[in-house]
A and B are shown apart, each in its own frame.
Chain A
Amino acid sequence: MQRSDEELYRLMRKGDQDAFAELYERREPALYRYALHTSGSSIVAEEVAHEVFVQLMGAGARFDERRGSLESYLYGVARNLIRVVRRQGPVEEAIDRAVEHDILGDLITNETMAALHRALREMPDRYRDVVILCDLEERSYEDVARIIGHPIGTVRSRLHRARALLSAKLKWLNAPAEVLSK
């Protein structure tokens, strides 16, 4: 039976390296992707995903099981780290540059994809988080509700609102030139 995140955390606090490694393997990839979508930079995403675990193993880790799940705590740490990076200045937009050479550019214009990345990054945290977790990570509403600490109804309504905002931006970008010139 798979051990819970919280159980692994308790073991790692006692010095169990295998528990720490298991926790890392389980959660680091999704944290990296979350940081990638949020920051728009793979370099920042790597740093953030790494730093989350550095902080977790540190003596100052303030995770408290009574206040929520460890997964929720890890996303919270990642979110704060990204805010710190953003305050320091604009991050390198590695994703957008990669799009320029993407073979899928035949299907969707580079401009549209870059705009979607930008629009996602510029959204308020509460909308962006549900888009990333529900639609990019494909997590269930129940999981996302647990992670962000809000009811399922709130998750669903935020997602619908966020998608409407993104659709509107894409629609504007995809509008024919004559419409835009009016």
Chain B
Amino acid sequence: MNCKERIPGIVEYARRRAEPDMELRAHLAACSGCGERWEGERQLTSQFSIMRIRAQAREPMDARRESLMREFARRHKRAPMPVWAWAFSAAAVLLLAAVLGHATHSRVRENPVPAIRTHGVRTQQTILYEASADASALSADDFVALPYALPLAAGELVRVVHADLDPDVLASMGIDVDPSWASEVPADVVVGEDGLPRAVRLADSSQF
């Protein structure tokens, strides 16, 4: 290794204030150029230490910091909203509510949520059952699971409500309705704990 190749090692040892390894020590003792460089680097490191200490000895500048924070707060302070802006905002909110209300109402009319129409229901008897994993298991008892119904939770208590239902209501539940049926139809409706119907079974269609 020649002198030029040793320079990085010399610099790094001096920067870390470490003792050179034996091989480098031997070279520094034998080579006056590298020896001088070593002394120069060590001296520089010592002087940098003093500079560092001096630079860190600084008077606290709380006033400057405070003025900077005040300036930040001033720049990000929101101006109070004028009265006309409040009135405009309120009008906009009312208009938006009206538009949304109208849109929602229209959608409900187009896709009515299937439910038992209370005026067409005459509850005759209510029996409680514990549901199995889902409402489709009820099909074994001729119940037709409603296609839009949420699945029943295992162990959820359901009611079977015996009721007279309007044929329109049955049709909205996805039941095949005979057009000749004019009056209300006796049916059993499985109702979940949330009060929503899950399945329906016609009592006996032959009697209508």
Contact = CB atoms under 8 A, between A and B. Distances in A.
Interface of A: 12, 15, 17, 20-21, 24, 28-29, 32-33, 36-37, 42, 46, 50, 53-54, 57, 95, 98, 102, 104, 107-108, 112-113, 116-117, 134-136, 138, 156, 159-160, 163-164, 166-168, 170-171, 174
Given A108-B46, A112-B47, A167-B37, A57 B61 contact: no
A163 B8 CA distance: 11
A21 B76 CA distance: 14
Nearest to B46: A108
A175 to B, nearest CB: 11
Contacts of A36: 55
Contacts of B36: 171
A60 to B, nearest CB: 12
A107 B51 CA distance: 13
Given A17-B76, A167-B37, A57 B71 contact: yes
Interface stretch (B62-70, B98-106, B173-181): B62-70
Interface size of B as a range: 20 to 34
Interface string B53-84: 01110100100110011011101100000000
Contacts of B52: 136, 138
Given A32-B58, A136-B51, A136-B55, A160 B8 contact: yes
B54 A98 contact: yes
A32 B56 CA distance: 9
Contact of A54 (B8, B44, B50, B68): B68
Given A167-B44, A174-B43, 13 more contacts: A21-B69, A32-B58, A46-B61, A50-B68, A57-B72, A95-B54, A108-B47, A113-B50, A113-B51, A135-B45, A136-B51, A156-B8, A168-B40
Contacts of A166: 44
A167 B73 CA distance: 48
Contacts of B65: 24, 28
Contacts, number: 79
B11 interface: yes
Interface of B: 7-8, 11, 15, 36-37, 40-41, 43-48, 50-52, 54-56, 58, 61, 64-65, 68-69, 71-73, 75-76
A37 B41 contact: no
